[in-house]
Amino acid sequence: MKISCVDLFCGAGGLTHGFVLEGLPVVAGIDMDPACRFPYEANNQARFIERDISTVTDSELLALFADADVKILAGCAPCQPFSTYARRYELDSNGKWGLLYEFARLAKGAKPDIITMENVPSVAKHAVFHDFVDTLERLGYHVWYDVVDSSRYGVPQARRRMVLLASLYGKIEIIPPTLDKPITVREAIGQLTHLQAGEVAKSDKLHIASTLNAKNIQRIKASRPGGTWRDWPEHLVADCHRAESGRTYAGVYGRMEWDKPAPTMTTQCFGFGNGRFGHPEQDRAISLREAAILQSFPRDYAFVPEGGEVGFKVLGRLIGNAVPVELGRAIARSIGSHLSLVKDCE
User: Which residues are known catalytic residues?
Assistant: 79
Q: How far apart are CA 39 and CA 304, in angstroms?
A: 7
Q: How far is CA 193 from CA 189, 190, 236, in A?
A: 9, 9, 29
CB 30 within 8 A of CB 15: no
According to DSSP, the β-strands at 26-31 and 142-149 are unpaired
106, amino acid identity: L
Name, in order, each residue with C-beta under 8 angstroms of 19's C-beta and a sequence gap of 6 or more: 5, 7, 25, 26, 74, 328, 329, 331, 332
Q: How far apart are CA 21 and CA 44, in angstroms?
A: 9
Q: How far apart are CA 314 and CA 221, in angstroms?
A: 28
